[in-house]
Structure 1
Amino acid sequence: MGDTGVSGTAVEGLEGYRRELTAYCYRMLGSYAEAEDAVQEALVRAWRSMDRFEGRSALRSWVYRIATNVCLDALASGRRRALPMDLSGPSEGGTPPALPQDAALWVEPCPGDDPEAAAAMGESVRLAFVAALQHLPPRQRATLVLRDVLRFSAREVADLHGCTVASANSALQRARATLADRRRATDGPAARPCGDSVRQVLAERYAAAFSRYDMEELKMLLHVDATLCLPPYAKWMRGVPDIQAWLTGPAIGCRGSRLVPTTANGSPAFGQYRPRSDGTGYVPWALQVVDFAGDRIAGITAFRDTERLFPLFALPDHLGEEVRQGARA
């Protein structure tokens, strides 16, 4: 950075925005890895242009303008990430999935190891919300996140986009209407507030029930219209009977799994490890992100790309035989 003319203080000031910019770019792009790349590109552009920053807007607004442009460039191809329920209707739980699809098709989970930050982000970082955002045109997507999540003013957003305040407000209204239509179309469990203590108890009960493969206990924990989806497969299910049919049918090999707790998208999540066939331990199988509605589990998204996701979530690459022995004790 020595040839850019940027002072250490300026670089430190820009670096202080990295975390919030990553959350913003994640909502824009639907991929945590792509968000990290976009933020790095945005900060490099900002560092190189710092000597031309004239201070006519706040530094934060200026950096967000650069990050927004990086995201808009990345979205110019028109490719949109999704969750399985965005692509087709639910399927029967007793049938195996078709072949996996390209990983670039799916909205991905993001790590969240800071409970205070996760609480502050609330619904705005939930998988379902991030997936719904992908239905918006990119500029509307940016406008809605900047206004409704990050609380930028209409004037700030207009300046960022280089448009009038009236145009910025119109884009916001259209984006809100599209999201409202998406919520009505999905017709899933209502996302009623769920306190942290309730979520924690539900998550612990779910992990214990799944490890025991206790279908009756899982039935008690799941909302009647709960969903289970399985990216990179397009298959997803709605309702307790089909979820249980999946678990006791095509997914019966998950019996005896161990779940290691983590956090994703502001919700409890688990690294699922399936038992080896030779009984010598457990291998990574899925990252389960759990969503809640009131006092029930509303959805489970099981991401199978463990080779890439488990290191991102600081999950071990295997569990040993001692876990099995401890479970017997």
Structure 2
Amino acid sequence: MNANTQPEKLGVNGLGEVDEPAFSGLAERHRRELHVHCYRMLGSFEDAEDAVQETFLRAWRRRETFEGRSTLRAWLYRIATNACLDLLAKRRPKPATGGEVPWLQPYPDRLLDELPASDADQPETFAVARETIELAYLVAVQHLAPRPRAVLILRDVLGWPAKEVAQLLGDSVNSVNSALQRARAGMREHLPAERQDWTGGEEEDSGTRELVRRYTDASVATDVHGLATLLRDDVRCSMPPTPGLHVGRDAVVNSWVEDGFESLGRLRGVFTSVNRQPAVAFYLWRKRQDAYLPLTIDVLRVTGGEITEIVTFHDDRFPQLGLPERLPIDSTS
């Protein structure tokens, strides 16, 4: 995002003051991409919403400082980044550890689809690249200290020049370059082996869809053995915010058995997608309500035709993801 691209002008009213409706209209154009930026910084959909609201509030209060030397988008990104750093200082006194991110929340693809298409004249629109919105990337980012995290996202994801990042953070260019090196090293440490070059999991194709279907069928049948055959040896499984990271097929399967998965009851699965990854929302039959009600959402990472990671979210994420609040009884129930 180069601040020297075409500047935007703020509308003024008859008194020579910035017109609030015009200002709000210009700022709102960037709400979704700012939300994604804050989500990368914070790892939480809800915290990102708070950060964007704070960004717009600060922008309006400081509207007279916008001189049109850079784009309004770049100016808003600067404010949003600082809002996230302030929020991290207040809410996240300790970084993520041990591969777990308790505050991690999913991001629905239907909202990612609201972002503008990539434009060679606006490199910041590449900020929704699939590999930098997947959960594995988000988890790795959350293990970085706040300022190196900001440097990494601004430099490597948004494409800001080092000089502009230095100006935003009040640092020297050398400090920014040093922080970027540390951040990249941290990402290599925390990304899965096949993600070292940000290649991500596999693009969804017929093979991936078939694997997800088999996973769904085995889950609905509470067939632990069938599920085990779909997992890679080093599969990882977590359920934020519940503590506990299980690594390896045996550990994952044992955790399911210990949790009583096989006696869970009647399930139904609904295909969806979050963070540009395949996902399945599971509903559990509740006799009292005479309906299937939300249970969990499994977000899958698929590599080489095997499931390499399962991140499970609780039923409180269903509304955010636009999923039905209940499923009626069907003819097979």
Q: Is the alpha carbon distance of 1:252 and 1:279 closer, same or farther for their aligned partners in structure 2, counting shifts above 3 Å?
A: farther
* Count of aligned pairs: 304
Q: Which has the higher helix share?
A: 1
2:50 to 25, 37, 47: 37
Q: In the alignment, which residue of structure 2 is the partner of 1:209?
A: 218
The 5 A counterparts of 1:92-171 are 105-113=102-110, 120-171=128-179
Q: Report percent identity of matched pairs.
A: 37
Does 2:21 correspond to 1:24? Answer: no
Q: In the alignment, which residue of structure 1 is the partner of 2:307?
A: 297
Which stretch shifts more, 249-258 or 28-37? Answer: 249-258
Q: In the alignment, which residue of structure 2 is the partner of 1:222?
A: 231
Q: In the alignment, which residue of structure 2 is the partner of 1:100?
A: none
Which stretch shifts more, 74-83 or 156-165? Answer: 74-83
How far apart are the structure 1 equivalents of 2:195 and 2:150? 27
Q: CA deviation at 1:13?
A: 1.8
Q: CA deviation at 1:57?
A: 2.5
List per-residue Cα deviations over 1:120-145 (Å, max 9, x = no partner): 42121122221221221211111101
How far apart are the structure 2 equivalents of 1:19 and 1:314? 16
- Could you tell me whether the CA contact under 8 Å between 2:99 and 2:190 is conserved in 1? no
- Could you tell me whether the CA contact under 8 Å between 2:222 and 2:263 is conserved in 1? no
How far apart are the structure 2 equivalents of 1:150 and 1:189? 19
Q: CA deviation at 1:249?
A: 4.1
Give the 3-state SS of the residue equivalent to 2:279 in structure 1: strand
Q: CA deviation at 1:180?
A: 1.4
List per-residue Cα deviations over 1:222-275 (Å, max 9, x = no partner): 212112222332123222233333334422233531111222222122221122
Q: CA deviation at 1:52?
A: 2.4
How far apart are the structure 1 equivalents of 2:255 and 2:142? 28
Give the 3-state SS of the residue equivalent to 1:312 in structure 2: coil
How far apart are the structure 1 equivalents of 2:145 and 2:274? 25
Give the 3-state SS of the residue equivalent to 2:242 in structure 1: coil
Q: CA deviation at 1:278?
A: 6.5
How far apart are the structure 2 equivalents of 1:237 and 1:252? 18
Q: In the alignment, which residue of structure 2 is the partner of 1:79?
A: 93
Q: Is the alpha carbon distance of 1:32 and 1:206 closer, same or farther for their aligned partners in structure 2, counting shifts above 3 Å?
A: same
- Could you tell me whether the CA contact under 8 Å between 1:267 and 1:290 is conserved in 2? yes
Q: State the TM-score, normalized to the length of structure 1.
A: 0.81
How far apart are the structure 2 equivalents of 1:321 and 1:282? 7
How far apart are the structure 2 equivalents of 1:44 and 1:34? 15
Q: In the alignment, which residue of structure 1 is the partner of 2:63?
A: 50
Q: CA deviation at 1:65?
A: 0.9
- The CA RMSD measured in Å over matched residues stands at 3.0
For 2:39, give the aligned amino acid.
Y
Give the 3-state SS of the residue equivalent to 2:216 in structure 1: helix
Q: Is the alpha carbon distance of 1:280 and 1:248 closer, same or farther for their aligned partners in structure 2, counting shifts above 3 Å?
A: farther
For 2:93, give the aligned amino acid.
R
- Could you tell me whether the CA contact under 8 Å between 1:188 and 1:225 is conserved in 2? no
How far apart are the structure 1 equivalents of 2:273 and 2:19? 36
Q: In the alignment, which residue of structure 1 is the partner of 2:10?
A: none
Q: State the TM-score, normalized to the length of structure 2.
A: 0.80
- Could you tell me whether the CA contact under 8 Å between 1:112 and 1:264 is conserved in 2? yes
Q: In the alignment, which residue of structure 2 is the partner of 1:91?
A: none
For 2:48, give the aligned amino acid.
A
How far apart are the structure 2 equivalents of 1:180 and 1:14? 35
Give the 3-state SS of the residue equivalent to 1:235 in structure 2: strand
> Which ranges in structure 2 are unaligned for 5 or more consecutive residues?
1-12, 118-125
> Which ranges in structure 1 are unaligned for 5 or more consecutive residues?
88-103
How far apart are the structure 1 equivalents of 2:182 and 2:225? 44
